[in-house]
Structure 1
Protein backbone atom coordinates (compact mmCIF):
# COMPACT_ATOMS: atom_id res chain seq x y z
CA UNK A 1 0.00 0.00 0.00
CA UNK A 2 1.11 3.52 -0.70
CA UNK A 3 2.49 5.38 2.29
CA UNK A 4 -0.26 7.69 3.48
CA UNK A 5 -0.58 9.36 6.84
CA UNK A 6 -3.58 8.58 9.04
CA UNK A 7 -4.99 12.01 8.16
CA UNK A 8 -4.60 11.33 4.42
CA UNK A 9 -6.25 7.91 4.80
CA UNK A 10 -9.17 9.54 6.60
CA UNK A 11 -9.48 12.15 3.83
CA UNK A 12 -9.38 9.46 1.15
CA UNK A 13 -11.98 7.37 2.95
CA UNK A 14 -14.23 10.43 3.17
CA UNK A 15 -13.68 11.23 -0.53
CA UNK A 16 -14.54 7.64 -1.51
CA UNK A 17 -17.68 7.69 0.59
CA UNK A 18 -18.82 11.13 -0.61
CA UNK A 19 -18.30 10.25 -4.27
CA UNK A 20 -20.20 6.99 -3.80
CA UNK A 21 -23.14 8.82 -2.21
CA UNK A 22 -23.12 11.45 -4.99
CA UNK A 23 -23.21 8.75 -7.67
CA UNK A 24 -25.95 6.91 -5.82
CA UNK A 25 -28.04 10.09 -5.75
CA UNK A 26 -27.38 10.74 -9.46
CA UNK A 27 -28.57 7.24 -10.37
CA UNK A 28 -31.67 7.59 -8.21
CA UNK A 29 -32.47 10.99 -9.75
CA UNK A 30 -32.01 9.65 -13.27
CA UNK A 31 -34.26 6.68 -12.56
CA UNK A 32 -36.85 8.92 -10.89
CA UNK A 33 -36.79 11.26 -13.89
CA UNK A 34 -37.43 8.36 -16.25
CA UNK A 35 -40.22 7.03 -14.03
CA UNK A 36 -41.87 10.46 -13.84
CA UNK A 37 -42.51 10.51 -17.57
CA UNK A 38 -46.03 9.31 -18.30
CA UNK A 39 -46.49 6.51 -20.80
CA UNK A 40 -48.00 8.88 -23.37
CA UNK A 41 -44.97 11.15 -23.08
CA UNK A 42 -42.44 8.31 -22.94
CA UNK A 43 -42.36 7.61 -26.69
CA UNK A 44 -42.02 11.35 -27.44
CA UNK A 45 -39.26 11.63 -24.81
CA UNK A 46 -37.42 8.63 -26.19
CA UNK A 47 -37.74 9.89 -29.77
CA UNK A 48 -36.22 13.24 -28.77
CA UNK A 49 -33.13 11.77 -27.11
CA UNK A 50 -30.33 9.70 -28.57
CA UNK A 51 -30.72 5.93 -28.11
CA UNK A 52 -29.54 4.57 -24.77
CA UNK A 53 -28.22 7.88 -23.46
CA UNK A 54 -29.85 7.40 -20.06
CA UNK A 55 -28.80 3.77 -19.92
CA UNK A 56 -25.21 4.64 -20.83
CA UNK A 57 -25.06 7.35 -18.17
CA UNK A 58 -26.44 5.06 -15.48
CA UNK A 59 -24.11 2.27 -16.59
CA UNK A 60 -21.06 4.56 -16.23
CA UNK A 61 -22.25 5.71 -12.82
CA UNK A 62 -22.81 2.16 -11.59
CA UNK A 63 -19.43 1.06 -12.93
CA UNK A 64 -17.76 3.90 -11.03
CA UNK A 65 -19.71 2.91 -7.91
CA UNK A 66 -18.30 -0.62 -8.26
CA UNK A 67 -14.78 0.81 -8.61
CA UNK A 68 -15.36 2.87 -5.48
CA UNK A 69 -16.56 -0.21 -3.61
CA UNK A 70 -13.38 -2.03 -4.65
CA UNK A 71 -11.27 0.95 -3.59
CA UNK A 72 -12.99 1.03 -0.19
CA UNK A 73 -12.29 -2.68 0.22
CA UNK A 74 -8.63 -2.16 -0.76
CA UNK A 75 -8.39 0.72 1.71
CA UNK A 76 -9.75 -1.46 4.50
CA UNK A 77 -7.31 -4.24 3.57
CA UNK A 78 -4.41 -1.78 3.34
CA UNK A 79 -3.90 -2.51 -0.37
CA UNK A 80 -4.98 0.93 -1.55
CA UNK A 81 -3.12 3.54 -3.56
CA UNK A 82 -0.86 1.42 -5.77
CA UNK A 83 -1.10 1.53 -9.56
CA UNK A 84 -2.50 -1.70 -11.01
CA UNK A 85 -0.12 -1.47 -13.97
CA UNK A 86 3.28 -0.43 -12.58
CA UNK A 87 2.80 -0.90 -8.84
CA UNK A 88 3.99 2.62 -8.00
CA UNK A 89 2.08 4.90 -5.66
CA UNK A 90 -0.83 6.64 -7.39
CA UNK A 91 -0.48 9.82 -5.38
CA UNK A 92 -2.60 11.39 -2.70
CA UNK A 93 -3.77 14.40 -4.75
CA UNK A 94 -4.89 12.20 -7.65
CA UNK A 95 -6.79 9.86 -5.34
CA UNK A 96 -8.39 12.77 -3.54
CA UNK A 97 -9.57 14.20 -6.88
CA UNK A 98 -10.56 10.83 -8.36
CA UNK A 99 -10.96 8.37 -5.47
CA UNK A 100 -11.49 5.27 -7.61
CA UNK A 101 -8.31 5.83 -9.66
CA UNK A 102 -6.57 2.53 -10.27
CA UNK A 103 -3.59 3.84 -12.23
CA UNK A 104 -0.97 6.52 -11.69
CA UNK A 105 -1.13 9.47 -14.08
CA UNK A 106 1.58 8.07 -16.37
CA UNK A 107 -0.03 4.63 -16.69
CA UNK A 108 -3.52 6.16 -17.10
CA UNK A 109 -2.21 8.27 -19.95
CA UNK A 110 -0.70 5.19 -21.62
CA UNK A 111 -3.94 3.27 -21.05
CA UNK A 112 -6.07 5.99 -22.65
CA UNK A 113 -3.78 6.08 -25.69
CA UNK A 114 -3.91 2.29 -26.03
CA UNK A 115 -7.69 2.06 -25.51
CA UNK A 116 -9.15 5.35 -26.79
CA UNK A 117 -12.55 3.81 -27.49
CA UNK A 118 -13.26 3.15 -23.81
CA UNK A 119 -15.05 5.97 -22.07
CA UNK A 120 -13.21 6.02 -18.79
CA UNK A 121 -12.47 9.20 -16.87
CA UNK A 122 -9.41 11.10 -17.94
CA UNK A 123 -6.51 12.15 -15.79
Structure 2
Protein backbone atom coordinates (compact mmCIF):
# COMPACT_ATOMS: atom_id res chain seq x y z
CA UNK A 1 0.00 0.00 0.00
CA UNK A 2 1.92 2.97 -1.36
CA UNK A 3 5.19 2.18 0.35
CA UNK A 4 3.61 2.01 3.80
CA UNK A 5 4.13 -1.13 5.83
CA UNK A 6 1.44 -2.45 8.15
CA UNK A 7 3.05 -0.93 11.25
CA UNK A 8 3.22 2.52 9.68
CA UNK A 9 -0.36 2.23 8.44
CA UNK A 10 -1.56 1.16 11.90
CA UNK A 11 0.20 4.15 13.48
CA UNK A 12 -1.32 6.60 11.00
CA UNK A 13 -4.78 5.05 11.36
CA UNK A 14 -4.50 5.38 15.14
CA UNK A 15 -3.52 9.05 14.78
CA UNK A 16 -6.53 9.69 12.54
CA UNK A 17 -8.90 7.87 14.90
CA UNK A 18 -7.61 9.90 17.85
CA UNK A 19 -8.16 13.10 15.89
CA UNK A 20 -11.66 11.96 14.91
CA UNK A 21 -12.48 11.16 18.54
CA UNK A 22 -11.17 14.54 19.69
CA UNK A 23 -13.28 16.32 17.09
CA UNK A 24 -16.30 14.21 18.00
CA UNK A 25 -15.96 15.45 21.57
CA UNK A 26 -16.44 19.00 20.31
CA UNK A 27 -19.89 17.99 18.99
CA UNK A 28 -20.95 16.20 22.19
CA UNK A 29 -23.47 18.40 24.04
CA UNK A 30 -22.23 17.02 27.40
CA UNK A 31 -18.62 17.84 26.54
CA UNK A 32 -17.39 21.37 27.22
CA UNK A 33 -16.46 22.97 23.95
CA UNK A 34 -17.42 25.52 21.36
CA UNK A 35 -21.09 25.45 22.33
CA UNK A 36 -20.12 26.92 25.70
CA UNK A 37 -18.57 29.92 23.99
CA UNK A 38 -21.81 31.43 22.74
CA UNK A 39 -22.61 34.64 24.55
CA UNK A 40 -26.13 36.00 24.87
CA UNK A 41 -26.75 39.60 24.00
CA UNK A 42 -28.01 41.75 26.80
CA UNK A 43 -28.99 45.38 26.87
CA UNK A 44 -25.64 47.09 27.07
CA UNK A 45 -23.59 49.64 25.25
CA UNK A 46 -22.98 49.35 21.49
CA UNK A 47 -19.35 48.37 22.17
CA UNK A 48 -20.47 45.50 24.39
CA UNK A 49 -22.92 44.34 21.74
CA UNK A 50 -20.13 44.38 19.16
CA UNK A 51 -17.95 42.31 21.47
CA UNK A 52 -20.74 39.79 21.99
CA UNK A 53 -21.27 39.51 18.23
CA UNK A 54 -17.55 39.05 17.69
CA UNK A 55 -17.36 36.31 20.32
CA UNK A 56 -20.32 34.52 18.78
CA UNK A 57 -18.81 34.82 15.30
CA UNK A 58 -15.54 33.35 16.56
CA UNK A 59 -17.40 30.48 18.23
CA UNK A 60 -19.27 29.78 14.99
CA UNK A 61 -16.04 29.91 12.99
CA UNK A 62 -14.43 27.40 15.37
CA UNK A 63 -17.44 25.09 15.05
CA UNK A 64 -17.32 25.33 11.24
CA UNK A 65 -13.60 24.56 11.30
CA UNK A 66 -14.25 21.46 13.42
CA UNK A 67 -16.89 20.25 10.98
CA UNK A 68 -14.50 20.73 8.05
CA UNK A 69 -11.67 18.95 9.90
CA UNK A 70 -13.98 16.04 10.72
CA UNK A 71 -14.82 15.64 7.02
CA UNK A 72 -11.10 15.59 6.13
CA UNK A 73 -10.32 12.99 8.80
CA UNK A 74 -13.25 10.80 7.77
CA UNK A 75 -12.10 11.02 4.15
CA UNK A 76 -8.61 9.84 5.13
CA UNK A 77 -10.04 6.96 7.17
CA UNK A 78 -12.22 5.92 4.23
CA UNK A 79 -9.12 5.86 2.03
CA UNK A 80 -7.50 3.42 4.46
CA UNK A 81 -10.52 1.16 4.06
CA UNK A 82 -10.51 1.31 0.25
CA UNK A 83 -6.72 0.85 0.02
CA UNK A 84 -5.88 4.20 -1.55
CA UNK A 85 -4.51 5.88 1.59
CA UNK A 86 -1.07 7.38 1.07
CA UNK A 87 -1.55 8.05 -2.65
CA UNK A 88 -1.46 11.63 -3.88
CA UNK A 89 -4.89 12.57 -5.20
CA UNK A 90 -3.27 14.76 -7.85
CA UNK A 91 -0.44 12.69 -9.36
CA UNK A 92 -1.00 9.24 -7.85
CA UNK A 93 2.51 8.99 -6.41
CA UNK A 94 3.03 7.85 -2.83
CA UNK A 95 2.88 10.48 -0.10
CA UNK A 96 5.96 10.13 2.09
CA UNK A 97 5.61 8.57 5.53
CA UNK A 98 7.22 11.58 7.20
CA UNK A 99 4.61 13.88 5.62
CA UNK A 100 1.81 11.55 6.69
CA UNK A 101 3.18 11.49 10.23
CA UNK A 102 3.05 15.28 10.31
CA UNK A 103 -0.34 15.46 8.55
CA UNK A 104 -2.01 12.04 8.47
CA UNK A 105 -4.96 13.57 6.60
CA UNK A 106 -2.73 14.80 3.74
CA UNK A 107 -4.28 14.32 0.30
CA UNK A 108 -1.35 15.54 -1.79
CA UNK A 109 2.34 14.68 -1.96
CA UNK A 110 4.69 17.49 -1.02
CA UNK A 111 5.36 18.41 -4.67
CA UNK A 112 1.68 18.72 -5.59
CA UNK A 113 0.92 20.54 -2.33
CA UNK A 114 3.70 23.05 -3.04
CA UNK A 115 2.38 23.66 -6.56
CA UNK A 116 -1.18 24.07 -5.26
CA UNK A 117 -0.08 26.62 -2.68
CA UNK A 118 1.95 28.60 -5.22
CA UNK A 119 -0.99 28.77 -7.62
CA UNK A 120 -3.29 30.33 -4.98
TM-score above 0.5, yes or no = yes
TM-score by length of 1: 0.76
**Count of matched residue pairs:** 112
Deviations 1:23-78 (A, max 9, x none): 233455112222xx34538x977621277332222222211110110110110111
Q: Name structure 2 gaps, 5 residues minimum.
A: none
Q: Structure 2 matches for 1:80-91, cutoff 5 A?
A: 80-91=85-96
Which residues in structure 2 correspond to 1:1-123 (within 5 Å)?
A: 1-26=1-26, 29-34=33-38, 37-40=39-42, 47-48=50-51, 49=54, 52-115=57-120
Whether contact under 8 Å (2:87, 2:93) holds in the other structure is yes
Could you tell me the TM-score, scaled by structure 2's length?
Answer: 0.77
Deviates more, 1:23-32 or 1:101-110: 23-32
Instruction: Select the structure of larger CA radius of gyration.
Output: 2
CA distance in 1, matches of 2:106, 2:70: 12
SS at 1:75 equivalent: helix
Q: CA RMSD in A?
A: 2.5
